[in-house]
Structure formats: structure tokens, C-alpha cells
């Protein structure tokens, strides 16, 4: 009888990528729940808390295209992902040693920048790999949302039990988990001899594709995504003023995240049936419906229904935008192109957050009609793009939903 044990089957590239995706948003989940409470405990004012949150986002606008360009020139995107994960895991240790506004601002900004540059590079790498392997990008990406949900719940339990001082150790711990799991990522780029997907029809430089028909759909989702930043920042406050209890607000947020994850898990069935720009258009149209009804101060049961629409307004629009960019650009500029999309999203979110506060103060829930108008603008952008350059039909690229 042979005593030889069978060799273990290696984990698939998709599974290894899924494992890492589940860690990418752990730190942002932890900070979204208790960063403000920890800062307040340090004596940081509400105005200074706003600055600490805004500065990294503003710097990321300038940083992401630069990082994407470097990642595209590397032998594989994994190299840059691992480096950023390591840096993002080391710098948060500085939070143990700062107590004043300026010290926290500097350390927090340095810690957040590499973590904030991870998603567009990782998404670009993952969608190229799944396209080449014929696998499902949405299923892999969905684990990022699942990880975010679990981290939010875990942070709430830990900080409620141990107090706000537990925030920094927990934040450092989740960044180290992300760092460790970055090393098990697969190589994403196709071998040099392998042609990926109709590369002859894809742009080899960002300048080649910077046409109005290409920019408008990306801008459309940036406008739609701006409403989600507004939702995160203001809707809890508005609902609380309407008499919705904190516990119910938490359930409403959970339903929203669950809808997002569900759409991503079933993305392959949806994405292959429609072109990317039609999916972005659907996202914009549902945004109009969602926010118009939200502005009318509906009862709680209607709010739960509206929160399920996050599966369309965010998940469908986000995945459609990812697919659109990947369809028209080659691997040579994959991360840079996705970085451009991410920059537009962040820029619109910053503008929306700066301008929406006074609208809420003046009009309450009626201010959400402005979010519906952003959906209208997004829909117009997609329609103009389709007029300028119709979708490709009966070609290889149509399979990608260009």
C-alpha cells in the first residue's frame, strides 16, 4: 500500500483574490463607526474632525492616477498592492503616539492614503484576471462588502464592550490582517505571450480614450455615487430627526449593504445580458426614484424598501462602470484608467459633502430632491454618450458589455 499523500490542490486565483478583497475595507469600516468618537475623546473639535476626514480624500484625488500609472508599469499589479498594504499596515502604529489635532491629522492622513489607493488598483487587476479566466468579477468583489459588514458589526461590539480606547488597537489589527493576506494574492497579469480580450480595439494610453463619449458614463456614475456619500454622511441625522430610532437606522444600513452584496454575487447573470452603459443608465434612473421618495419622508417600512435599491444605484452602477472602463482600455493602462474613474467619484463626493450640509439644515429631508437631480444629470450623461458612440454589437467586445 502506498503511503504517499495526495498533493493539496492550490487555492484558485479567484478564491485568493476573494480572501484579500474581504479585508480591503476592514479599516474603513472600523473608522466609519468609531473614529469620530475616538477623536472626540482626544478633545478634537467637530470642525477638526471634519478636516481629519476630508484631507486624505482630497489628497487621494491627486494620488490615485499616479499610483495607477506606477502599478500598470510594474511586472504585475500584485507588487504595488502588496507594497501599499504593507505601508498601510505599518503607519497606523503612529496613532498610539499622537494626541493633538496636528499629530493625529498627519499620522491619520499618512495611514489612510495607501489604504485609499488600494481599491482601484485591486479592482483593475481583478477584473482583468476574471475576464481572462472566464470567472465572475462581481462574486470576487462582493466579499469586500461582506468584510465591511462584518467589520462594522465587530467594531461596534468591541468598542461597546471595551470603550473608545479600543478603537486604535482594533484599527491597527485589521490593517495588519490586510497586510498579511496581501502576500497570498495571485499574479493578475496575463503572460506576455497571451492576448487577453480584443486588445487591438482597446486604448493603449489614457489620452487615446479621453473622448467625451468615454468620460460621460464615468461622470454619470460619479454623480450617482455622490448621492451615496451624502447618504452616509447625512441620512442618519435626518432619519433621527424624523423619529427613527438608532437601532432601526442600523438595520436600514445593514439592509443597504446586504442589497449591495447580493447584486455583486449575482452580477454575472446580470452583467452579461446588458451593455455597461445601459446598466449605468439604470443606476441613474433608479437613483431618481430612490431619492425622490426619500425626500417625501416616507414611513419606515418604505425606507427599508428604498434601501434595497442600493443594489441598483450603487452595486449595479459601480460594476457597470468597472466593466465599461475595462472594455475600452487595455491592460497597459488598466489601473490608471480605473484610477481616473475613482478620482471622478471621489471629486464629486467631496463637492457633494461640502455643499449638502447647508441644504439639509435649510430644507431637511426635502434636500434629498437634489440627489434625485444628480440622478437626472447622470442619466443625461449616459444618453449623450450613447448618441455619440453607440454600443458595440455582434463583436467580441459586446461580450464585455462595452
Domain residue ranges of the chain, discontinuous segments joined by +: 12-187, 201-402
**Cβ–Cβ under 8 Å, residues 77 and 124:** yes
Q: What pLDDT was estimated at residue 42?
A: 86
Q: What pLDDT was estimated at residue 273?
A: 80
pLDDT band at 200 (very low <50, low <70, confident <90, very high): low
Give backbone dihedrals phi and psi of 234, rounded to 5 degrees, phi first.
-125, -25
| Of 298 and 394, the one with more pLDDT | 298
**Is 201-402 assigned to CATH 3.90.1010.10?**
no
Distance in angstroms (rounded) separating the CA atoms of residues 375 and 169:
40
**Is 12-187 assigned to CATH 1.20.1250.20?**
yes
Q: What pLDDT was estimated at residue 191?
A: 66
Q: What is the mean pLDDT of residues 116-122?
A: 90
Q: What is the mean pLDDT of residues 307-333?
A: 90
Distance in angstroms (rounded) separating the CA atoms of residues 386 and 110:
41
Q: What pLDDT was estimated at residue 401?
A: 47
- Which of helix, strand or coil describes residue 296? coil
- Among the listed residues 316, 328, 230, 212, the one whose alpha carbon sits nearest the alpha carbon of residue 274: 316
Instruction: Give the pLDDT confidence of 71-111 residue by residue, as tens digits.
Output: 888 888 999 999 999 999 999 999 999 989 999 999 999 99
Give backbone dihedrals phi and psi of 203, rounded to 5 degrees, phi first.
-70, 135
pLDDT band at 199 (very low <50, low <70, confident <90, very high): low
| Of 21 and 401, the one with more pLDDT | 21
Q: What pLDDT was estimated at residue 8?
A: 61
pLDDT band at 193 (very low <50, low <70, confident <90, very high): very low
Mean pLDDT (the chain) is: 84
| Of 351 and 217, the one with more pLDDT | 217
Amino acid at each position: 500500500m502506498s503511503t504517499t499523500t495526495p498533493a493539496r490542490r492550490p487555492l484558485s486565483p479567484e478564491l485568493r483574490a476573494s480572501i484579500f478583497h474581504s479585508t480591503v475595507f476592514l479599516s474603513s469600516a472600523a473608522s466609519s463607526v468609531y473614529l469620530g468618537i475616538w477623536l472626540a475623546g482626544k478633545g478634537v473639535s467637530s470642525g477638526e474632525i471634519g478636516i481629519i476626514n476630508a484631507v486624505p480624500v482630497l489628497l487621494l484625488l491627486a494620488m490615485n492616477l499616479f499610483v495607477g500609472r506606477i502599478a500598470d508599469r510594474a511586472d504585475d499589479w500584485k507588487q504595488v498592492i502588496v507594497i501599499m498594504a504593507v505601508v498601510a499596515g505599518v503607519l497606523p502604529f503612529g496613532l498610539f503616539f499622537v494626541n493633538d489635532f496636528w499629530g493625529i491629522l498627519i499620522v491619520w492622513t499618512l495611514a489612510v492614503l495607501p489604504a485609499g489607493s488600494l481599491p482601484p488598483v485591486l479592482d483593475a487587476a481583478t477584473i482583468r484576471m476574471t475576464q481572462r479566466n472566464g470567472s465572475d468579477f462581481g462574486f470576487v468583489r462582493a466579499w469586500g462588502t461582506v468584510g465591511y459588514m462584518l467589520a462594522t458589526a465587530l467594531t461596534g461590539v468591541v468598542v461597546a464592550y471595551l470603550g473608545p480606547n479600543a478603537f486604535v488597537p482594533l484599527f491597527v489589527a485589521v490593517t495588519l490582517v490586510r497586510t498579511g493576506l496581501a502576500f497570498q494574492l495571485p499574479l493578475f497579469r496575463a503572460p506576455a505571450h497571451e492576448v487577453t480580450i480584443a486588445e487591438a480595439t482597446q486604448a493603449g494610453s489614457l489620452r487615446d480614450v479621453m473622448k467625451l463619449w468615454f468620460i460621460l458614463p464615468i461622470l454619470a456614475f460619479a454623480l450617482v455615487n455622490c448621492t451615496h456619500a451624502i447618504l452616509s454622511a447625512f441620512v442618519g441625522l435626518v432619519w433621527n430627526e424624523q423619529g427613527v430610532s438608532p437601532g432601526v437606522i442600523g438595520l436600514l444600513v445593514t439592509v443597504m449593504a446586504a442589497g449591495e452584496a447580493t447584486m455583486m454575487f449575482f452580477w454575472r447573470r446580470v452583467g452579461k445580458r446588458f451593455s455597461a452603459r445601459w446598466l449605468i443608465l439604470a443606476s441613474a434612473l433608479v437613483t431618481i426614484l430612490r431619492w425622490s421618495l426619500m425626500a417625501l419622508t416616507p414611513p419606515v417600512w418604505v425606507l427599508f424598501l428604498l434601501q434595497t435599491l442600493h443594489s441598483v444605484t450603487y452595486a449595479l452602477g459601480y460594476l457597470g462602470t468597472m466593466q465599461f472602463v475595462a472594455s475600452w482600455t487595455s491592460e497597459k493602462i488598466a489601473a490608471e484608467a480605473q484610477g481616473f474613474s475613482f478620482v471622478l467619484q471621489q471629486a464629486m463626493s467631496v463637492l457633494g459633502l461640502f455643499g449638502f450640509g447647508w441644504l439639509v439644515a435649510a430644507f431637511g429631508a426635502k434636500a434629498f430632491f437634489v440627489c434625485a437631480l444628480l440622478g437626472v444629470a447622470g442619466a443625461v450623461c449616459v444618453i449623450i454618450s450613447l448618441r455619440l458612440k453607440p454600443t458595440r454589437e455582434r463583436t467580441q467586445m459586446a461580450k464585455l458589455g462595452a
